[in-house]
Structure formats: structure tokens, C-alpha cells
Amino acid sequence: MQKPPIIGIDLGTTNSCAAIVTEDGSVKLIPYKGGDYTVPSVFAIDEKGNELIGHEAKRQWQLNPKNTVYGSKRLVGRSWSSEIVETMRRTVGYEVRPGDRNDVVIDVARREFHLQEIAARILNKIRDVASNYLRLPITRAVVTVPAYFNDRQRQAVKDAGKLVGIEVVRIINEPTAAALAYGIGKKLHETTLVYDLGGGTFDVSIIEIRDRVFEVKATGGDIFLGGLDFDNTMIHHVLTEFAAKTGIDLSQDPVAMQRIKDLAERTKCDLSTREQAPFNIPFITMTAQGQPLNIEMTFTRKKLEELTQHLVDRTLQMVARVLVDAGVSTKQIDEVMLVGGQTRMPIIQERLTKFFGKAPSKGVHPDEAVAIGAALYAHSLEDDTNLRLQLLDVIPMAIGLERAGGDFHIVFPRNAAIPNAKQIQATTSFDGQTELAMRIYQGDNEEAKKNELLGDFVFSGINAGRAGDAQVEVTFDVNVEGILTMSALDPATGRKMKTTVRVTQS
């Protein structure tokens, strides 16, 4: 029997898709019924209690906004106390609340879901589409994540795979996957900047391509900046204009909000190819006297550009930071690659052309490159492959621990190459201490608590003695996927301990 292949999955904030390398070595996106290659990353439960995923979930979204979950990738691996969760709560129609481990829980049709469970269902849907198409059981995948995902978020994606019996054999960064799609088989020697603005996240990576060696020099991003935010600025404008005309606030009406959201997304896409578009929604609400009210507006491309200028500016500020981190000038960038649907917006291409003094490359399909790159990487891991690749990636944010005064002691700086290992000497701080506790964080803030808590590492069984007597060797090990494992050794007792850092509390 033919051994099932490892597929490549682009698990996106708004849409997901999969690809495989066929027996003749070509890469193929896996089609869904109806000829679509993408599956919306949407999960819902209808009034009969049926779980819906993808197109089926999206179709009933307008009528069932409270039980339809979208954009959930933004919440994966996040602690409840993070600002990002607070922002998300204000913009989504579904119920978001704290879980018992300082994580995020979503209520759908009176059922409780952890974020990994939602991600697992979307992964399972993509796997089913692939299995049906290939007529083979699929159990292994390479899954892509934003380069700016931290350790907890990467771990959460692996856990989501486990929940539905998919072995996530490797996690790779989305811009790196796009660079593979662009560069493999071309014998290139160039420095590429990948500008990846998708539905929910923004990443920028500078990658040196030397034939089949792909070395990331620096990466940066914002996992709360994407097409959804462009939609939200339009929605806010529509609500403000409507309230000014009628005195009615539509933001508390979930069905009206969903109709506005749908049209905002469609209008934004239209304005990439047109200078203006009508924005009309009949019978959006009623007056107190029972008179129906409509939304009747015209959106121009110029207006959209004005409303979203601050978002485009934020992406270019990050591009500038990553160039500095990589020690590279704009003139040393051979190609600027556009990835993600939001890069179709003409102003983004114009601003990048001005910034770099040359037009961005059209060398990859913005919606397909990530899945294709993931499939190529998956193929390189197969036993019988003839595709040998070398990926040299970096960690997106510093990893370190909290010092006694609350400062952040950096163990791995931002953009440190991975895989990587560092050893530090730790000691006891009071007499009779038999246990050593460390709080591990990831982020770029000098104050530990303002970074993302990765977890607590506790090493027990130290011989009780005077403060400073014990010397414990603690090793931090970040693997090729950017996931941290810690181990400790007490040379005096020979005791060892190893763990993948898991969050225990906050």
C-alpha cells in the first residue's frame, strides 16, 4: 500500500489551505468541492446543534453571529490577561471569557471550547478534504504559523494537531514557507524581504537564499495587524456616519453588525480594482416609529486609504526595524515578495515601491505561496525524497527569565538563530532552600511581566545548605520549530530534570 504523504497546511486566520508534492515532483494545492482551494477558518454551531466548519459555517454567519467563531487564531496560546484578548473581545460577536489556566475559552451554543479545540477542528476539516481528494488517510503534516508567534502559540498548534490525530511533524514560519515556494529550483543567490500581510497577522522576514539554503537574517511582525483590522476601520466609519445621520448605534445589533462586516470585506476587495464602490444595505434597522432604515453610502479608494493609512504606516515601521536588525539597507534587498491577500491593496504596493525604490515581485501567488512552501518542506522530510533543503531560522522575540527585581534577564536575544542552546548557572538565594523556581517569559520588554509568560520551571531536590552553596546548571534549548525545552542538572546530587515549558499559572 502507498504510504500517505506528509501534507503542507497553511492554517490561516481567515482562510486555510493545504498542498502536496505529487509523484512527478510538482506541487499541487488540494481542491475543495466547488473548485475552491481555501477553507474559511470559521467554526459554528447551528440551531440544531450541528458543528459547521469552513464554507458551511461562513454561509450561516449573518443569521447566527453569536455562535460563529472567526479570527480565533489571534487568540491561540494567549493568556486571558493580555491586551490582545481585551481588544479581540470588543470586536467579535461570540462570547470570549477566561479559562481556569489564565487561558481563553469561547462559548458557542452553550458549549465551552478552548482555542486548541477550534484550531483542531479546522485542521481536521483540511485533513478530511485532503484525505478525500488523495483517497489516502492523512496523519502527518507540516503546519505554518506567523513568524511572530511565540513559544506558547507554537505549542498550542502542535497540541491542536494531537487532538485530532494529526502529527505536526514540523512547524515552520509563514514567510519562510513563502520564500521556499519562490526560491526552490531557481538556483538563486539573493536577499529577499517577505512582506506578509494576511487576514489577521503581519510578518516581515529578511531571508538570504543560497540555492537550497534559506537563512533568515531577521524577522518581526504584529500578530494583531491584518485584513480584519482594515475591515474594522471601515466598519467603524460606517457606524459613525450612520449614527450621525440617524442617532442610532448599530454596534449592539449582532445581525446588523454581521451584514456590515460582510459588505465591508467585499467592498475593500472591490476597491483594489475600482476607484469607488457603493455601500448599500437595505432595512438595516427600524426607527422607534417602525420606519425601515437603510445604509446608503459610496466608498472611494481614496477614503479607504485615508482610513487605513495608520495601519500601512505600522507595517512600514516594522519593515524598517527588521532591516536594522538584519544590518541590511534597502538597496541590498534583491526582491520584495508580497504574501497574504491584503497585499493586493494598491496603496501597499505603491508605498513599498517608494520605500525600496523598486516594485515588489509578483513571483508567488499571495494566497497560495505559504501552503506550497509547507508542502515542499514536507516533501523534503519524506524518506524517499530527492529534495534536500536547509532552513536556518530565528526566534522572533527574546526568551529569558524574571530577575529578583522584576527585570527581564535575556537568555536568547531577538533574532537569535535556531536551533540554539544556552546554559546558565543558577544558585539558591536563602539558607535551607531545596527548590529552585524560574519564571520564563518571551518578548521585547525590559520588564519581565510585560512580556508573555511561557511558564514556570521548578527544579526540586537540591541539598539544603547555605544560600549560594548549590550550583545548578540550567540549559535552555530552542529547537528548529522555535519551541523551548529546559533541563537542569545538580552536579552535587547528579539529579536531572527536563521539561517542555508549559504554562502552569499566571
Residues recognised as catalytic: 10, 73, 174, 196
278: phi then psi, degrees, rounded to nearest 5? -70, 150
How far from 221 is each of 146, 173, 262, 319, 416, CA to CA, in Å?
Answer: 8, 12, 27, 9, 16
Instruction: For residues 433 and 460, give the distance between their C-alpha atoms in angstroms, rounded to a whole number.
Output: 9
Q: 136: how many CB neighbours lie within 10 A of its CB? A: 16
Q: Which residues lie across from 167 on neighbouring strands?
A: 140
C-alpha cell at 249: 448605534
Q: What is the four-CA torsion angle of 82, 86, 88, 93, rounded to 10 degrees?
A: 140
Cis previous bond, 65, omega within 30: no
Instruction: For residues 177 and 378, give the distance between their C-alpha atoms in angstroms, rounded to a whole number.
Output: 11
Q: Are 14 and 146 in contact (CB under 8 A)?
A: no
- 49 torsion bin: left (phi>0), alpha (psi -120 to 50), beta (else): left
Q: Are 311 and 229 in contact (CB under 8 A)?
A: yes
One-character DSSP codes across 153-171? HHHHHHHHHHHTT-EEEEE
C-alpha cell at 202: 503581519
Task: Return the H-helix or E-strand segment holding 55.
Answer: helix 55-59
Instruction: For residues 160 and 168, give the distance between their C-alpha atoms in angstroms, rounded to a whole number.
Output: 9
